């Protein structure tokens, strides 16, 4: 499932065996936004320890995940943007 590609010098994760191809962009969007939120909260916590906490971060991740899934289920499947 996870292999290292020497030609491209990076790891390759073969998720198409586990997920249908339609869900791969959804998972990519979720991973991107989780990374942004986690890094943002880490930087805010580094600047001021009272500015954020783990509970707030978990709630943000939950809401962002729900928002992305709703977008993919409703808008991406119903409309074709050209």
Q: What is the pLDDT of residue 80?
A: 72
DSSP structural state of residue 74: I
Nearest to 26 by CA among 58, 57, 66, 60: 66
- The model carries a pTM of 0.73
Nearest to 65 by CA among 15, 30, 20: 30
- Give the whole-angstrom CA distance, residue 26 versus residue 32: 10
- Give the whole-angstrom CA distance, residue 40 versus residue 34: 10
Where along the chain do its domains lie? 20-78
pLDDT digits (tens, 9 = 90+) for 17-66: 888 888 888 889 999 999 999 999 899 888 888 877 888 889 999 999 99
Q: What is the pLDDT of residue 82?
A: 67
Phi, psi of 56 (to 5 degrees): -65, -40
């Amino acid at each position: 499932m996870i292999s290292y590609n020497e030609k491209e010098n990076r790891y390759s994760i073969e998720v198409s065996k586990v997920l249908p191809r339609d869900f791969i962009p959804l998972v990519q969007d979720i991973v991107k936004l989780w990374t942004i939120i986690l890094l943002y909260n880490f930087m805010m916590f580094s600047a001021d320890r009272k500015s954020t906490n783990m509970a707030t971060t978990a709630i943000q991740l939950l809401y962002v995940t729900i928002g992305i899934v709703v977008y993919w289920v409703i808008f991406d499947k119903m409309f074709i943007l050209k």
